[in-house]
Amino acid sequence: MEIRQLEAFNAVVTTGSVTAAGRLLGRSQPVVSRQISDLEAELGFVLFERTRPAITLTESGGEFYQEVRGVLADLQQLDARVLGMRSGQVRPLRVLATTDLAHGLFPEALAQIDRFNPVFRQKLILEEIIHEATQREIQACRADFALINLPIDTEGLHVHWCGQAPCLLALPAAHPLAGHDALQLEDVRDTDIITLLTRYGMRYYLINSLIQATANGVRRHLEVASQQTALSMVRAGLGVALLDPFSIRGALLDGVVVRPLLSGIQYRIGVVSQQAHALPEGAQRLINGLYGHVRTVVPLFVDTDVNGLPQPARPAARACSSLRSV
């Protein structure tokens, strides 16, 4: 396979036609058609169903396209890095994070850490994964490390730290229980419960734990796609929401209060990197800083192993504490 063939394939997919792909690439339509045909011959399967006027991906073509996108993205990153090296730019610090953590915990922690000792000189790239990261996504990504929800298959990954904290209940500010410092699930029996969708591993675990803990005492159950929607429903008086204690950081809480849920329903996060990847000094300081920040701001956070078993606090917490005292 040649890069020009992959570029032609990607252009046909993105533009929807061979003619438009040729215009995009500055190549003639016959050249693009030949490159696609040569690529199909090399692969041994058909990429497109050619039914005029439409051209659509076959099932194999769609699967191959997912791989090609990653290859071309890596090449674009390489081109950008080469240009940066020519101009003397420092290598950017790259972080992968699940969206909830990227929106909530990460900016708050980075601002706190950066105030004392900046962790990157010229450029930081934060790439988001919409819901939960997989071991394969982390291995395929060129990020220095990943801030993710657990559990995850850690084969081929180095676990820098992980831990858990009790989930939170979000209540309307005028709710009779809003004055409590912490809550038990028994406190909200016969109350409508709002949760995030259960299609992902950690959320599925949370809902199962909720059902078991309440012994079917929840009156109605609303599932929503985002934390923002859950908080909006709480604000409107539609129920109380089960939320994780990490991504709530930085959320708009007007008209809403959040309280720790002391019922054994834990949410776990951690930081991992590829075992073969040597971390730059700034990445290691950011990892330690994230850990120290979590221990400082997340109530009842405890260190665990990847299976959720308690572990002693790590030295990075002490290092971050001394950094804040500078």
Q: What is the pLDDT of residue 325?
A: 34
Give 166-181 pLDDT, tens digit per residue.
Answer: 888 999 999 999 999 9
Q: Which helix (H) or strand (E) is 126 found in, with range?
A: strand 124-129
Whole-number Å distance between alpha carbons of 243 and 144 = 28
Share of the chain above pLDDT 70, in %: 85
Whole-number Å distance between alpha carbons of 178 and 304 = 30
Q: What is the pLDDT of residue 191?
A: 84
Give 300-312 pLDDT, tens digit per residue.
Answer: 899 998 888 878 8
Mean pLDDT of the chain: 83
> Which domains does the chain show, CATH number per domain?
3-86 (1.10.10.10), 95-163+283-324 (no CATH), 168-264 (3.40.190.10)
Please say if the pLDDT value at position 211 is more than 70.
Answer: no
Neighbours of 99 (CB within 10 A): 15
Distance of alpha carbon 27 from its chain centroid, rounded?
Answer: 38
Q: What is the pLDDT of residue 248?
A: 87
pLDDT tier, 133 (very low <50, low <70, confident <90, very high otherwise): confident
Share of the chain above pLDDT 90, in %: 29
Q: Which helix (H) or strand (E) is 166 found in, with range?
A: strand 157-166
DSSP state of 123: -
User: Which of 5-19, 44-58, 180-194 shows the highest mean pLDDT?
Assistant: 5-19
Average pLDDT over residues 241-266: 86
- Exposed e or buried b per residue across 291-302, where buried means at least 16 C-beta atoms within 10 angstroms of its C-beta: bbbbbeebeebe
pTM score, two decimals?
0.67
Write down the residue that tokens 């420092």 correspond to. 90
pLDDT tier, 284 (very low <50, low <70, confident <90, very high otherwise): very high
- 147 versus 137: the higher-pLDDT residue is 147
Please say if the pLDDT value at position 80 is more than 90.
Answer: no
CB 60 within 8 A of CB 46: yes
DSSP code per residue over 186-230: GGGTTS-EEEE-SSSHHHHHHHHHHHHHHTT--S-EEEES-HHHH
Q: What is the pLDDT of residue 221?
A: 83
- 74 versus 113: the higher-pLDDT residue is 113
Give 100-116 pLDDT, tens digit per residue.
Answer: 889 889 999 999 888 88
Backbone angles phi, psi at 201, to 5 degrees: -50, -55
Average pLDDT over residues 151-155: 86
pLDDT tier, 91 (very low <50, low <70, confident <90, very high otherwise): confident
- 92 versus 50: the higher-pLDDT residue is 92
Whole-number Å distance between alpha carbons of 200 and 263 = 21
Q: What is the pLDDT of residue 217?
A: 56
Q: Which two three-digit tokens encode residue 61? A: 């073509």
